Structure 1
Protein backbone atom coordinates (compact mmCIF):
# COMPACT_ATOMS: atom_id res chain seq x y z
CA UNK A 1 0.00 0.00 0.00
CA UNK A 2 1.14 3.53 -0.71
CA UNK A 3 2.38 5.43 2.36
CA UNK A 4 3.34 2.36 4.36
CA UNK A 5 6.64 0.62 4.85
CA UNK A 6 7.69 -2.82 5.99
CA UNK A 7 11.02 -1.43 7.23
CA UNK A 8 10.75 -0.50 10.91
CA UNK A 9 13.48 2.14 10.70
CA UNK A 10 11.96 4.01 7.77
CA UNK A 11 10.02 7.17 8.47
CA UNK A 12 6.73 7.02 6.60
CA UNK A 13 5.35 10.06 4.83
CA UNK A 14 1.81 10.78 3.80
CA UNK A 15 1.74 12.27 0.32
CA UNK A 16 -0.76 13.00 -2.38
CA UNK A 17 -0.55 11.11 -5.64
CA UNK A 18 1.80 13.07 -7.88
CA UNK A 19 4.34 15.81 -7.28
CA UNK A 20 4.27 17.77 -4.05
CA UNK A 21 6.23 20.49 -2.31
CA UNK A 22 8.58 19.54 0.50
CA UNK A 23 8.44 22.73 2.52
CA UNK A 24 11.50 21.81 4.58
CA UNK A 25 13.50 21.67 1.37
CA UNK A 26 12.07 24.83 -0.20
CA UNK A 27 14.77 27.19 1.10
CA UNK A 28 17.03 27.80 -1.87
CA UNK A 29 14.72 25.97 -4.30
CA UNK A 30 14.63 28.64 -6.99
CA UNK A 31 12.91 26.28 -9.46
CA UNK A 32 9.83 26.22 -7.21
CA UNK A 33 9.83 29.99 -6.58
CA UNK A 34 6.31 30.40 -8.04
CA UNK A 35 4.87 28.06 -5.39
CA UNK A 36 7.04 28.87 -2.38
CA UNK A 37 9.47 31.50 -1.15
CA UNK A 38 12.99 30.11 -1.58
CA UNK A 39 14.66 32.96 0.31
CA UNK A 40 13.78 33.25 4.03
CA UNK A 41 13.48 36.53 5.91
CA UNK A 42 16.65 36.87 7.96
CA UNK A 43 17.64 39.42 10.59
CA UNK A 44 21.19 39.93 11.80
CA UNK A 45 22.11 41.20 15.19
CA UNK A 46 25.27 41.41 17.22
CA UNK A 47 25.44 39.96 20.69
CA UNK A 48 28.27 41.10 22.89
CA UNK A 49 30.27 38.83 25.17
CA UNK A 50 28.26 38.24 28.33
CA UNK A 51 24.96 38.80 26.49
CA UNK A 52 21.88 36.61 26.30
CA UNK A 53 19.26 36.52 23.54
CA UNK A 54 16.69 34.18 22.06
CA UNK A 55 16.15 33.44 18.39
CA UNK A 56 12.73 32.46 17.01
CA UNK A 57 12.67 30.22 13.92
CA UNK A 58 9.10 29.68 12.78
CA UNK A 59 6.94 28.76 9.82
CA UNK A 60 4.25 31.01 8.38
CA UNK A 61 1.70 29.04 10.39
CA UNK A 62 2.86 31.03 13.42
CA UNK A 63 3.16 34.41 11.69
CA UNK A 64 -0.37 34.13 10.27
CA UNK A 65 -1.66 34.58 13.83
CA UNK A 66 0.99 36.54 15.76
CA UNK A 67 2.86 39.73 15.08
CA UNK A 68 6.59 39.91 15.65
CA UNK A 69 5.99 42.13 18.70
CA UNK A 70 3.55 39.60 20.22
CA UNK A 71 5.99 36.73 19.67
CA UNK A 72 8.87 38.69 21.18
CA UNK A 73 6.79 39.54 24.27
CA UNK A 74 5.94 35.86 24.80
CA UNK A 75 9.55 34.76 24.31
CA UNK A 76 10.91 37.40 26.68
CA UNK A 77 8.48 36.42 29.45
CA UNK A 78 9.13 32.66 29.18
CA UNK A 79 11.39 30.92 31.67
CA UNK A 80 13.02 28.78 28.96
CA UNK A 81 13.31 28.48 25.20
CA UNK A 82 11.20 25.30 25.34
CA UNK A 83 8.45 27.06 27.28
CA UNK A 84 8.53 29.95 24.79
CA UNK A 85 8.19 27.63 21.78
CA UNK A 86 5.32 25.75 23.45
CA UNK A 87 3.47 28.99 24.26
CA UNK A 88 3.88 30.34 20.73
CA UNK A 89 2.67 27.10 19.13
CA UNK A 90 -0.32 26.81 21.47
CA UNK A 91 -1.38 30.41 20.89
CA UNK A 92 -1.20 30.03 17.10
CA UNK A 93 -3.29 26.84 17.36
CA UNK A 94 -5.87 28.56 19.60
CA UNK A 95 -6.17 31.53 17.26
CA UNK A 96 -6.45 29.28 14.21
CA UNK A 97 -9.19 27.23 15.87
CA UNK A 98 -11.03 30.40 16.94
CA UNK A 99 -10.98 31.83 13.42
CA UNK A 100 -11.32 28.72 11.24
CA UNK A 101 -12.51 26.04 13.69
CA UNK A 102 -9.47 24.02 12.60
CA UNK A 103 -5.73 24.29 12.12
CA UNK A 104 -5.33 26.46 9.00
CA UNK A 105 -1.65 25.68 8.44
CA UNK A 106 1.12 23.69 10.07
CA UNK A 107 2.89 25.54 12.88
CA UNK A 108 6.61 24.94 13.40
CA UNK A 109 8.39 26.90 16.12
CA UNK A 110 11.95 26.64 17.40
CA UNK A 111 13.27 29.02 20.04
CA UNK A 112 17.02 28.97 20.62
CA UNK A 113 18.84 30.43 23.62
CA UNK A 114 22.05 32.21 22.64
CA UNK A 115 23.74 32.66 25.98
CA UNK A 116 27.25 34.11 26.01
CA UNK A 117 27.36 34.61 29.77
CA UNK A 118 29.80 32.68 31.93
CA UNK A 119 28.65 29.43 33.53
CA UNK A 120 28.61 31.13 36.93
CA UNK A 121 26.48 34.03 35.67
CA UNK A 122 23.98 31.67 34.01
CA UNK A 123 23.51 29.63 37.19
CA UNK A 124 23.36 32.66 39.49
CA UNK A 125 20.92 34.79 37.48
CA UNK A 126 18.94 33.25 34.62
CA UNK A 127 16.83 36.32 33.65
CA UNK A 128 14.81 36.34 30.44
CA UNK A 129 16.83 37.74 27.54
CA UNK A 130 16.40 41.38 26.61
CA UNK A 131 17.05 40.80 22.92
CA UNK A 132 15.13 38.64 20.50
CA UNK A 133 15.73 37.80 16.86
CA UNK A 134 13.02 36.49 14.55
CA UNK A 135 13.67 34.36 11.46
CA UNK A 136 10.67 33.35 9.36
Structure 2
Protein backbone atom coordinates (compact mmCIF):
# COMPACT_ATOMS: atom_id res chain seq x y z
CA UNK A 1 0.00 0.00 0.00
CA UNK A 2 1.41 3.38 -0.97
CA UNK A 3 1.90 6.03 1.72
CA UNK A 4 -0.59 8.24 -0.16
CA UNK A 5 -3.30 5.60 0.04
CA UNK A 6 -2.52 5.19 3.73
CA UNK A 7 -3.10 8.91 4.35
CA UNK A 8 -6.50 8.72 2.70
CA UNK A 9 -7.42 5.55 4.57
CA UNK A 10 -6.36 7.14 7.86
CA UNK A 11 -8.51 10.16 7.05
CA UNK A 12 -11.52 7.95 6.28
CA UNK A 13 -11.11 6.09 9.58
CA UNK A 14 -10.67 9.37 11.48
CA UNK A 15 -13.93 10.76 10.10
CA UNK A 16 -15.75 7.57 11.11
CA UNK A 17 -14.42 8.05 14.64
CA UNK A 18 -15.46 11.70 14.59
CA UNK A 19 -18.95 10.65 13.51
CA UNK A 20 -19.13 8.26 16.49
CA UNK A 21 -18.05 11.04 18.85
CA UNK A 22 -20.68 13.40 17.42
CA UNK A 23 -23.35 10.76 17.96
CA UNK A 24 -22.15 10.20 21.55
CA UNK A 25 -22.23 13.94 22.21
CA UNK A 26 -25.73 14.24 20.77
CA UNK A 27 -26.88 11.51 23.11
CA UNK A 28 -25.04 12.41 26.33
CA UNK A 29 -24.10 16.09 25.93
CA UNK A 30 -21.20 15.90 28.38
CA UNK A 31 -18.23 18.27 28.32
CA UNK A 32 -15.74 15.40 28.34
CA UNK A 33 -17.37 13.89 25.25
CA UNK A 34 -17.51 17.32 23.61
CA UNK A 35 -13.80 17.82 24.22
CA UNK A 36 -13.01 14.40 22.75
CA UNK A 37 -15.20 15.22 19.76
CA UNK A 38 -13.27 18.46 19.21
CA UNK A 39 -9.97 16.62 19.43
CA UNK A 40 -11.20 14.07 16.88
CA UNK A 41 -12.25 16.96 14.65
CA UNK A 42 -8.76 18.46 14.94
CA UNK A 43 -6.99 15.32 13.78
CA UNK A 44 -9.66 14.57 11.14
CA UNK A 45 -9.16 18.02 9.69
CA UNK A 46 -5.39 17.64 9.83
CA UNK A 47 -5.60 14.36 7.93
CA UNK A 48 -8.05 15.92 5.44
CA UNK A 49 -5.71 18.61 4.20
CA UNK A 50 -2.74 16.24 4.20
CA UNK A 51 -4.71 13.67 2.19
CA UNK A 52 -5.74 16.42 -0.23
CA UNK A 53 -2.11 17.47 -0.57
CA UNK A 54 -1.02 13.92 -1.33
CA UNK A 55 -3.85 13.45 -3.82
CA UNK A 56 -3.04 16.69 -5.65
CA UNK A 57 0.67 15.84 -5.67
CA UNK A 58 -0.22 12.53 -7.33
CA UNK A 59 -2.18 14.53 -9.91
CA UNK A 60 0.89 16.64 -10.72
CA UNK A 61 0.21 19.72 -8.60
CA UNK A 62 3.40 20.80 -6.89
CA UNK A 63 4.62 23.45 -4.48
CA UNK A 64 1.83 22.85 -1.96
CA UNK A 65 2.97 23.45 1.58
CA UNK A 66 0.46 25.18 3.81
CA UNK A 67 -3.09 24.10 4.74
CA UNK A 68 -4.73 27.32 3.49
CA UNK A 69 -2.89 27.10 0.17
CA UNK A 70 -3.85 23.43 -0.21
CA UNK A 71 -7.51 24.16 0.53
CA UNK A 72 -7.58 27.00 -1.98
CA UNK A 73 -6.03 24.78 -4.65
CA UNK A 74 -8.39 21.91 -3.82
CA UNK A 75 -11.34 24.25 -4.22
CA UNK A 76 -10.01 25.59 -7.53
CA UNK A 77 -9.61 21.98 -8.74
CA UNK A 78 -13.17 21.12 -7.70
CA UNK A 79 -12.09 18.63 -5.05
CA UNK A 80 -13.97 20.45 -2.29
CA UNK A 81 -17.21 22.36 -2.63
CA UNK A 82 -17.26 25.18 -0.09
CA UNK A 83 -13.94 26.95 0.37
CA UNK A 84 -15.38 29.26 3.06
CA UNK A 85 -16.38 26.31 5.26
CA UNK A 86 -12.98 24.66 4.82
CA UNK A 87 -11.25 27.90 5.81
CA UNK A 88 -13.62 28.17 8.79
CA UNK A 89 -12.59 24.65 9.80
CA UNK A 90 -8.94 25.69 9.56
CA UNK A 91 -9.58 28.66 11.84
CA UNK A 92 -11.54 26.48 14.28
CA UNK A 93 -8.76 23.90 14.39
CA UNK A 94 -6.15 26.61 14.92
CA UNK A 95 -8.12 28.37 17.65
CA UNK A 96 -8.75 25.18 19.63
CA UNK A 97 -5.17 23.98 19.23
CA UNK A 98 -3.70 27.12 20.79
CA UNK A 99 -6.24 28.43 23.29
CA UNK A 100 -8.92 26.53 25.15
CA UNK A 101 -12.05 28.56 25.83
CA UNK A 102 -15.20 26.81 27.04
CA UNK A 103 -17.57 29.14 25.20
CA UNK A 104 -15.61 28.78 21.98
CA UNK A 105 -15.53 25.00 22.45
CA UNK A 106 -19.32 24.92 22.68
CA UNK A 107 -19.64 26.95 19.46
CA UNK A 108 -17.16 24.78 17.60
CA UNK A 109 -18.89 21.62 18.83
CA UNK A 110 -22.13 22.91 17.35
CA UNK A 111 -20.40 23.67 14.01
CA UNK A 112 -18.79 20.22 13.97
CA UNK A 113 -22.19 18.59 14.34
CA UNK A 114 -24.11 20.82 11.94
CA UNK A 115 -21.56 21.70 9.25
CA UNK A 116 -18.03 20.35 9.56
CA UNK A 117 -18.78 16.63 9.84
CA UNK A 118 -20.96 16.55 6.70
CA UNK A 119 -18.26 18.43 4.76
CA UNK A 120 -15.59 15.99 5.91
CA UNK A 121 -17.89 13.08 5.04
CA UNK A 122 -18.25 14.52 1.54
CA UNK A 123 -14.48 14.34 1.12
CA UNK A 124 -14.57 10.75 2.39
CA UNK A 125 -17.01 9.93 -0.40
CA UNK A 126 -14.72 11.56 -2.95
CA UNK A 127 -11.75 9.47 -1.79
CA UNK A 128 -13.83 6.29 -1.82
CA UNK A 129 -14.98 6.82 -5.39
More strand by share: 1
Q: Please, what TM-score do these two structures have when normalized by structure 1?
A: 0.27
More helix by share: 2
Tell which structure's C-alpha radius of gyration is larger: 1
Q: Please, what TM-score do these two structures have when normalized by structure 2?
A: 0.28
